[in-house]
Structure 1
Amino acid sequence: MRKNKNSKKIVLLIVIIFLLLFIGGTGVYFMLNNKGNKPIKINYNDYYSKYVTTIGEVKLYTKENDGYKEGGVVGSNVELTLNSDNSNDGYFNVSDFDDKYYVYYKDIKKINELSSIDNRYKEYIVFNNNVVTRDKTEFYDENGNLVYSFNEGYSLPIIIKDTDRYGVEFNNRLLYIKSDEGEVINNTNTDKHNASGVGVFNYHAFYDENDPSDSCPTVICHSKKQFKEQLDYLKENNILTLKMKELEMYIDGKLQLPKSVLLTIDDGGRDKIAVDMLTEYKMYATIFLVTAWYDPSTYYKTDYIELHSHTNNMHNTGVCPGGQGGGIKCLSEEEIQTDLKTSREKLGGSTYIAYPFYEYNEYSIRMLKEAGFTMAFAGEWDKSDNLVHVGSDKFRLRRFVIVTYTTIKGINEYLGQIK
């Protein structure tokens, strides 16, 4: 009996010794690692960079007497510019917003430089309207992603009047405010007015007149010399060359333009000279490709060139009665829809097309609409000014057809109709 009691005492003693050793060792460990329980000092400036990007969606803060107060939100992966690196509390001042807001050091990461921003919108003519927000303002990018949210109101000139949003300039970039989150008021933002019309040029094939092996005998061939003279004219007269989407938005009254022209090239056969010259001049153009003849995925182009449809394989003469007989006027619905679907797929979903041989009828227009196209181009019409206007029928768009004998005088008269 006594032996059992002694055994229990020994076990209890061992447990007590073990606990004392564990507690003592733990204390020594923390004391050594915390250096006497002193707090670890963070050098916040190690996290500083002039340029940073957000880590996820993060909060913006305003500085108050007793600390920092939440004042807004910055979206995920949004780049910011910071002021100085003298933070002693982990909050860095953001220079993008009049030095009013701060961001916390854990919410950002360093980047070497800011990404380039498309400032194409600066070419547009602002509306004499502002969108006014009240207690909260949210800004979105082109794709609908949140960029900034502020707990305050703004009054900003409208650059784009889209279906359910307004395009405005904020922080030196084009952003959008949802139309149901603001009120539109009249405001004198400019004395410039929207162009009364937009010119559309139509080209075909190009050749180098100084190369004996490069000949092009038809009336729709354009020498380098002729094309250069026309590009020089556009440059010297500050005429804006448009992207296709810009023309569509102009027709819909969504944006306002200065004197502008859309350059288009049909078929896709001999365009390298034009592509190189347009790129040199930094001017935009569209090539309407017959996609059964030329593969859009390997077609020679640059950032200044858009590729759109000239049908997949309906650019053939004598298929339908009248004119040159383009098949889009009379082939079966199934044949036409298959062709148009194929062309759109090859072009990544393009919704813009030029009629083969400039020919169309009501049946053609119905086929295009059913296939998902939103704009279609023909040629000239003697009884029209051949300009595109706000509200023009987007399936009967006229073009000024450029030929070998087109002169600068003729171009000047055509574009001179624009007021």
Structure 2
Amino acid sequence: MKYLKDNNYYTITLTNLYEYLMNNTPIPRKSVVITFDDGYDNNYTTMFPVLKKYKFKATIFVISSLIDVHSNMLTSKQLIEMDKYGVDIESHTAHHDNLKLISKDNQLKTLIQSKKYLEKTLNKKINFFAYPYGGYNKNAIEALKEAGYKMAFTTKNGWSSKKNGIFSLHRVWISASDSTKVFERKVSKPKKNIFESFSF
């Protein structure tokens, strides 16, 4: 995060990204999206203080059925606090379901259940989604649209582009073992009309 700050990167929201991809709404040249999957408690205890330090934005895709249940997962109180600060909380299904392996009816069930729970808890619209295990198919994309989602992310490694499809966007995987040099290479490789989204 210090590298991003020192090198004048801007963290933007998924709403900013959606408007950029769909409507060509301008964003700063060195814009990035930072995402975290699952909703572990260290997103609050470790990640959140760092975001506040650098005044960065980020998105957490959470598994809704694990909220307030497991000690190593986020609580609803923590989600509400982070959401009010500006950390975007979005859906990662209700039960960490691999959408590629279940029927469309069950895809809709887990997508709607997660969406409704988060919307009620956070009192806001849930528009964005990340596929658990990166698993998706044609039915999953149709189910996302029917459930009212606007954009979704895979686990495919690479820079996001509208050419990926708005419901199958790529992300750049960032590992805890990446050196600063490796991180720099991953975030600074320029490509025309391609946007960077990090997954931690």
2:93 paired residue number? 311
Match of residue 9, structure 2, among 239, 250, 255: 239
Contact kept, 8 Å, 1:290 with 1:310, in 2: the verdict is: yes
TM-score, normalised on structure 1? 0.39
Taking the aligned partners of 1:390 and 1:241, their CA distance within structure 2 comes to 19
Measure how far apart 1:255 and its partner are.
1.3
Measure how far apart 1:350 and its partner are.
0.6
Letter aligned with residue 232 of structure 1: K
Taking the aligned partners of 1:402 and 1:414, their CA distance within structure 2 comes to 8
Letter aligned with residue 380 of structure 1: K
**Residues 353-378 of structure 1: CA distance to partner in whole angstroms, max 9, x if unpaired?**
10001221222212211211111111
**Residues 91-148 of structure 1: CA distance to partner in whole angstroms, max 9, x if unpaired?**
xxxxxxxxxxxxxxxxxxxxxxxxxxxxxxxxxxxxxxxxxxxxxxxxxxxxxxxxxx
Taking the aligned partners of 1:276 and 1:240, their CA distance within structure 2 comes to 18
Contact kept, 8 Å, 2:63 with 2:93, in 1: the verdict is: yes
* SS of corresponding position for 2:111: helix
Aligned residues: 174
Taking the aligned partners of 2:161 and 2:129, their CA distance within structure 1 comes to 18
1:363 paired residue number? 139
* SS of corresponding position for 2:34: strand
Match of residue 412, structure 1, among 184, 191, 198: 184
Taking the aligned partners of 2:103 and 2:135, their CA distance within structure 1 comes to 17
Bigger relative contact order (CA 8 A; separation at least 6): 2
Contact kept, 8 Å, 1:311 with 1:356, in 2: the verdict is: yes
* SS of corresponding position for 2:36: strand
Are positions 1:268 and 2:33 aligned together? no
Taking the aligned partners of 1:408 and 1:310, their CA distance within structure 2 comes to 29
1:290 paired residue number? 63
Are positions 1:376 and 2:149 aligned together? no
Measure how far apart 1:256 and its partner are.
1.7
How large is the Cα RMSD of the aligned pairs? 1.9
Bigger strand share: 1
Measure how far apart 1:391 and its partner are.
5.4
1:330 paired residue number? 101
2:72 paired residue number? none
Measure how far apart 1:390 and its partner are.
5.1
Taking the aligned partners of 1:336 and 1:361, their CA distance within structure 2 comes to 11
Measure how far apart 1:330 and its partner are.
3.2
Structure showing greater radius of gyration is: 1
Measure how far apart 1:307 and its partner are.
0.4
1:54 paired residue number? none
Taking the aligned partners of 1:369 and 1:390, their CA distance within structure 2 comes to 17
2:194 paired residue number? none
Taking the aligned partners of 1:309 and 1:403, their CA distance within structure 2 comes to 22
Taking the aligned partners of 1:390 and 1:367, their CA distance within structure 2 comes to 20
Percent identity over the alignment is 30
* SS of corresponding position for 1:263: strand
1:160 paired residue number? none
1:78 paired residue number? none
**Residues 165-216 of structure 1: CA distance to partner in whole angstroms, max 9, x if unpaired?**
xxxxxxxxxxxxxxxxxxxxxxxxxxxxxxxxxxxxxxxxxxxxxxxxxxxx
Contact kept, 8 Å, 2:161 with 2:169, in 1: the verdict is: no
Contact kept, 8 Å, 1:278 with 1:304, in 2: the verdict is: no
1:344 paired residue number? 115
Are positions 1:259 and 2:30 aligned together? yes
Contact kept, 8 Å, 2:130 with 2:153, in 1: the verdict is: yes
* SS of corresponding position for 2:155: coil
Match of residue 353, structure 1, among 129, 132, 148: 129
Are positions 1:395 and 2:167 aligned together? yes
Letter aligned with residue 275 of structure 1: F
Are positions 1:281 and 2:54 aligned together? yes
Taking the aligned partners of 1:367 and 1:290, their CA distance within structure 2 comes to 17
Letter aligned with residue 372 of structure 1: G
Taking the aligned partners of 2:9 and 2:164, their CA distance within structure 1 comes to 21
Alignment of 1:191-206 (within 5 A): none
Give structure 1 regions of 4+ aligned residues with deviation exceeding 6 angstroms.
Answer: none
Contact kept, 8 Å, 1:251 with 1:388, in 2: the verdict is: no
Taking the aligned partners of 1:404 and 1:235, their CA distance within structure 2 comes to 18
Letter aligned with residue 400 of structure 1: V
Contact kept, 8 Å, 1:251 with 1:392, in 2: the verdict is: no
